[in-house]
Structure 1
């Protein structure tokens, strides 16, 4: 799914040293907004550098075992965050889970929680919980199916607006202490905003790197969140700012 595409995208950019936007869109059969989000993720991770018209490999990472150790560490961080976030869920609750690599690990950690009602716009999360979980119901939103297996568009928003969930789990493209959760896609920003507003408590699951950059669209301010789950590399300044806003901060 998306994580697999990001890994493949990284490999091909590393092999060719640079690739244009048009070549990447053809290679992975994705739209420009999807590619833009993918490149933003890889740039935030320090994997590539974005340049006009495309992307080049970040020379500092090299090509040896350190790269694979980096990927493994990123995955372990996501798993830890997923496990910490899942502890907030109680049996018989209604939970909304946004599409995303980190929220997928939240869903994986929820496989052992019984009698949940889960709403998601992710085909991967819905399949995982429906086949392997103990949920009472798994509800997939309507919408346009994107190439990276999530649902998108006005129908997705209309579906989400019907729910009043106990908890919502969202990821982030970037997080600003001043502006809050941010994204680069206007429609997807509306979807994420609707997910947050459709639950009594919203939980952001995002590693420290998401707090080191900003995008162009404000989704919701930080005070819309009940809890932030992140990694211990987060700066002291960011920790203090989150706590000062009376947001529950959990370190994975």
Structure 2
């Protein structure tokens, strides 16, 4: 089998599987060695067709699908912790802080509960925290999405309207110069947009794997937030400040 044929097969397999470990690809393509698969995946990544993830997994290079929170939380752990630490530096005591759903925001939430702040969140990961906390915590109501541990919908947006946040920390699936911040879910996009309009200062917490990616639904413009990430990007810095 020539490289082109193998790579076409790999892409087709990823179109029907949100995420595959390299070992799982090997099981589906038993005639191809692991070393050959790795070479093919590196070529596909150079062509911007797939994205290699830490932990030996691969997905199509598209942010249009929403991975479960349990899956996302296993990737880019070091980068996400770095981003959360940078976000913590933006907060003062007594601030009213909104923290969004998403794997990086969940790490921030776990750190922020020990600060003297008022946290408002739609991230149901808060219910996994059993330790005593210093922060005052308000959970927004709404429709529960267990895949991403998030609350959204009309009730959530109505409750957001009662608050003015000193700082808002948001997640996203894609960051693009033309389309701004995008997500696969309309309810999540509307919630995030509503938050931006109720915050004195908004931050997007996003690792660099999401740079220049586009999902199906626009949340808000890039210049509406300050980006906190694990590294800079000259093109994105034309439209927003990046803390890294």
TM norm structure 1: 0.67
Give unpaired runs (5+ residues) of structure 2. 1-18, 30-49, 66-72
For the 8 Å contact 1:126–1:140, the answer to whether it is kept is no
Structure number with greater Rg is 2
Structure-1 residue corresponding to 2:112: 110
For the 8 Å contact 1:99–1:125, the answer to whether it is kept is no
User: How far apart, in 1, do the equivalents of 2:142 and 2:113 lie?
Assistant: 25
Structure-2 residue corresponding to 1:143: 142
Pairing of 1:1-252 with structure 2 (within 5 A): 10=20, 14=24, 17=28, 45=53, 47-49=58-60, 74-114=76-116, 116-125=117-126, 127-128=128-129, 131-135=131-135, 137-148=136-147, 149-225=149-225, 227-232=226-231, 234-235=232-233, 237-238=234-235, 241-242=236-237, 244-245=238-239, 247-251=240-244
The verdict on how the C-alpha distance between 1:74 and 1:158 changes in structure 2, with shifts beyond 3 A counting, is same
The verdict on how the C-alpha distance between 1:76 and 1:132 changes in structure 2, with shifts beyond 3 A counting, is farther
Root-mean-square deviation (CA), in Å? 3.1
Which has a greater percent of helix? 1
The verdict on how the C-alpha distance between 1:140 and 1:127 changes in structure 2, with shifts beyond 3 A counting, is farther
Question: Could you report, residue by residue, the CA deviation over 1:7-57 in whole angstroms, capped at 9, with x for unpaired residues?
Answer: xx7569937649xxxxxxxxxxxxxxxxxxxxxxx9684722389xx9xxx
Q: Tell me the CA shift for residue 125 of structure 1.
A: 2.8
For the 8 Å contact 2:177–2:212, the answer to whether it is kept is no
**Any runs of at least 4 consecutive aligned residues in structure 1 with deviations exceeding 4 A, and if so which?**
9-13, 15-18, 42-46
TM norm structure 2: 0.69
Question: Could you report, residue by residue, the CA deviation over 1:76-114 in whole angstroms, capped at 9, with x for unpaired residues?
Answer: 111111011111011101000001100011122223322
For the 8 Å contact 2:160–2:195, the answer to whether it is kept is yes
Aligned positions, number: 193
